[in-house]
Structure 1
Amino acid sequence: MPVTEPGHRHSGREQRRALIGTGIGNALEWYDWHVYGIFAPFFAQQFFNPDNELSALLSTLAIFAVGFAMRPIGAFVFGRLADRKGRRLAMLLSISMGSAGSLAIGLAPTYASVGAVASLILLLARLIQGMAHGGELPSSQTYLAEIAPPERRGRWTSAIYVSGACGMLIATLLGAGLATLYGTEALEAWGWRVPFVIGGLLGIYALFLRRKLTETHAFNKEHTSHGAAPQRLSVLRGMWQNRAAAGRVIGVTAGFTVTYQAWTTAAPTYAISVTKLDSTAVLLAEVVALLIFIAALPLCGSLSDRLGRRPNMLIFALGMAVLAYPLLLLARAGQVWQLGLAMTIALLFTAMCASIAPAIFAELFPTHVRTTGTGVPYAIAVALFGGTTPYLQTWLASHHAQNYFTGYNIALLLVGALVVLTGPETRAKPLE
């Protein structure tokens, strides 16, 4: 296993490998989750009783939320592994499990052939993916934050969401391409399997790339200073000692994850399945919004390296709180271009937060508990708030109560703004 010696400054080659290795694996995580959200309207009746279309879709989205519920467990298991045995090992195991879950969905039998067993297979696959992805993000973002130059950490860690958005973009383009080539009927019959199988195969490639990564200097230095076998409960004790930082992670993440899921997963799903807008046009509109989002991320990260993390976070939270209702009205106007414009504006504001969230979270915790301290509260917030967003938004919209969801989102954004105002400025903080 390649390692870096204590005192070693990561070379440009090591940093490039870090960007590629973490980026591809992280992109696959986001690809998996987005593929599920995008293709849910097409495969819902393949795993649940097709007699009730809305019930099948809601059941499919409920499993989407249940998969998120496994993320805190995965964050703790893989985070503890990363903090005790190394970030690299945790990243290898998480990508392996995530790929297995994707392949299981792509090759699963349908409700028509095995009945409720199909629903069970879908559930188990999502639980495996949820646990794996609960460990993927904190391990990869901690790794990248520790290997990045401190004065450019905001820009470097924006690569987490750049790669994630690229994964979503690939999923969206794949959905639009399959819809254009084969049509809705073929997608419902067999086309939905294609992106899941592709995700599993790409995971094998990502695993190969990650085997070449070196461990971070910060981790090696910590273990050289305190011995190769940290005390068994050191991670749990470290989390308790840093409980205020964990609370800040939850406070910031709640509004961010609801906003992100609402505009990248729930909005196009609702437009296709409930509003009945053309699926290809909706997916292409999301492609444009994601491309602009990807371009904005490194710029927002660089801005935080110059001016601090707090301005970025406040622009996001307060800006989206003010624009939430106007954007909702724009998205519900009944035209695809209006939906696309609303998604683009929402994602531009979201980029202010997404670009630097990994840097902020890493800067809040000491090395020996950084992955677990970042991952567990983040996963809890994502499970409670982000994972339930597509289901909650679709259910409320089906009862003509979308305004309640928007008010809920605004309240969480304001909580996040308060957390930022009362928390420390962490720009360029040493991570060793």
Structure 2
Amino acid sequence: MANAPRIASPKSPSATNKRDVPPRRRRLNILAGTVGHFIEWYDWYIYGLLAAVFSSQIFPGGSSAMSLISALLTYAVGFVVRPLSGIIISPLADRYGRRVVLATTIGGMAAGSLILALTPPFSAIGYAAPLLFLLARVLQGISAGSEMQSAIAYMVENGSTDRRGLFGSLSNVASGLATLAATGMGAIVTSTLNTHDLETWGWRIPFAIGGLLGVVGLLLRSRADESPEFEAAVDSAADRQPENLRLRELLRRHPKALLQTAALSAPAVAYYTWATFLPTYAHLTTGRDLDSALVGNTIGLGLLVIIVPLCGALSDRIGRRKPFPIIGAAGMVVLFYPLLLLLQRPGFGVYVTVTVSGWVVLAIWQGVYPTIQAELFPAAVRVSGIGVAHQIVIAALGGTAPLIASAFIEAGHPMGVAVYMTVIVLVCLIVYLTLPETGRSGTHTTTPPAAASDAENSSTCMESTEGTP
């Protein structure tokens, strides 16, 4: 095929994997990617979890509901910026390397978190307060818009060929642990501080911790190695293309993979609802205490971070497509409406049942989709491919999820949240039926089947002409 030189290095995936990477350096690289990813998403999630607490301090409004909506609109701005960052910066990771982009993203996220922690209230500086929050969310949006796809590619490419499912799942283990840490921190400050202290200064503590942890992540990532698979591909023609041509080739040659990647990311509408808004949803619709709801969410998240790597590791043995994204999405379609209906009943045990059930089906989906996304694209356009599809979907669905949920509640239709999530996931489920199988034993590779065939033909051609002028 004519596109082989543009998407695949003459070095085959097997040659890439034979590069001598000492096990200790491999572990350090995975640690840098995982810990940095954890810090990125801790900073991202804490905003949504505490929005109901700080909104009246930062955002003016005629009611607490209007202040909350203003805070969530600002939260959504970070998602709006994400696809722009994904489109502009992702090709840089394919051109100059994953490591430099990962080091840059965590610096931006930490800076945004520190701005949130230090911004005075509206009563002290007026409209400068919401403007500073807006600036912080833009910085964090730019960072997050480049983080996910770069981290997925970096961790999958640093993994051994028979454990890519496990290594790919670590990106979602990290984000799950980050959500767990953010939820736990939210539960601590809301349960240990009185209302006055919490609303005046207590909510700032989690943001300050996130900013300081960002420095740790920056140090780790600045000392990590570049991924061996990227280094093996840097001499290919695609890596010398300008970024606009690279994106054009991506859209022209990989439209199906882009659609599949978007569908794999779209259930994030449920993830963000469960992670950042379910406690607020329960508080607004049933009057549950916010601190007890956060504790319940922490329990569910603890289960998620156990299930995700188990699913990732299992996918290396039995395959990825049918057991995981399809079963996970089907579970969401079947359970979301009954779970939110059950939430109308009182009791802490009811809330735990709801949140745990949702996190189980989300974990089945989360365990494998990063690795599948990486395996849909060749290394030369991998970060760009994941980034373009993932960030556009996240901006459209993930960032607006809490805002849309709030609007349903304000309109008096709280169950509309469940209907909205179910319809989106049902569409994704249909697309999952078209996914190729990449994880079964003997097919472990991050080069898509068509690209692998092209690379083999290119390699054969090079060998037959070796020594020819």
Same fold (TM over 0.5): yes
* SS class of match (1:70): helix
Q: Cα deviations across residues 61-104 of structure 1 (Å, max 9, x unaligned)?
A: 11111111111112123211100000000001111111111111
Q: After superposition, give the CA deviation of every residue in 1:128-159 in whole Å (9 maximum; x if it has no partner).
A: 10111110111111100111112211111111
Which letter does structure 1 place at the counterpart of 2:379?
A: T
The counterpart of 2:121, out of the listed 110, 114, 131, is 110
**2:351 match:** 339
Give yes or no for the alignment of 1:413 onto 2:413.
no
Tell me which residue corresponds to 1:404. 416
Residue by residue, what CA displacement relative to the aligned partner does 1:25-70 show, whole Å, maximum 9, x if unpaired? 1112221121101110110011111541100001111111111111
- Quote the Cα distance in structure 1 between the aligned partners of 2:238 and 2:434: 36
Q: Deviations over 1:370-401 (max 9, x none)?
A: 00110121011111011111111122023221
289, 302, 305: which one pairs with 1:278? 289
Tell me how far apart the structure 2 counterparts of residues 133 and 297 of structure 1 sit (CA, whole Å): 21
Distance 1:274 1:119, change over 3 A: farther
Matched, 1:380 2:392: yes
Cα deviation for residue 406 of structure 1 reads 1.6
Paired AA for residue 30 in structure 1: W
Task: Name the counterpart of 1:189.
Answer: 200
Aligned ranges for residues 366-377 of structure 1 at < 5 Å?
366-377=378-389
Q: Tell me the equivalent position of 1:71.
A: 82
Question: Counterpart of 2:315?
Answer: 304
1:356 is matched with which residue? 368
1:324 matched to 2:339? The reply is no
Are 2:409 and 1:394 aligned? no
Deviations 1:139-180 (A, max 9, x none): 111100111112211111111111111111111121111222
Higher mean alpha-carbon deviation, 170-179 vs 421-430, is at 421-430
Match of 1:423 among 429, 432, 435: 435
Q: Distance in 2 between matches of 1:239 and 1:145?
A: 20
Query: What amino acid is the match of 1:65?
Result: A
1:147 aligns with 2:158: yes
Q: Distance in 1 between matches of 2:80 and 2:59?
A: 21
- 1:355-378 CA distance string (max 9 Å, x none): 111101100111111001101210
| TM-score, normalised via structure 1 length | 0.95
Partner residue in 2 for 1:237: 248
Alignment of 1:223-262 (within 5 A): 223-226=234-237, 229-240=240-251, 241-254=253-266, 256-262=267-273
* 2:42 is the counterpart of 1:31: yes
Q: Which residue matches 2:131?
A: 120
* Larger displacement relative to structure 2 (267-276 or 138-147): 267-276
Match of 2:5 in 1: none
CA distance in 2, matches of 1:144, 1:91: 12
Question: C-alpha distance in 1, partners of 2:227/2:41?
Answer: 24
- What is the distance in 1 between the residues matched to 2:181 and 2:56? 24
For 1:113 and 1:273, locate their aligned partners in 2 and report how far apart those are by CA, in whole Å. Answer: 29
Contact 2:172–2:308 at 8 Å: present in 1 too? yes
* Counterpart AA for 1:347: W
Aligned letter for 2:401? T
Partner of 2:148: 137
CA distance in 1, matches of 2:326, 2:30: 28
Between structure 1 and structure 2, the one with the greater Rg is 2
Equivalent residue for 1:202? 213
Percentage of matched positions with identical amino acids: 35
Equivalent-residue separation in structure 2 for 1:216 and 1:234 (angstroms) = 23
Separation in 2, partners of 1:232, 1:346 = 40
Contact 2:233–2:239 (Cα < 8 Å) also in 1: no
What is the DSSP-based 3-state SS (H/G/I as helix, E as strand, rest coil) of the residue aligned with 1:309? Answer: coil
Q: Structure 1: state its 5+ residue gaps.
A: none
Further displaced range: 81-90 or 231-240: 231-240
8 Å CA contact retained: 1:173, 1:287: yes
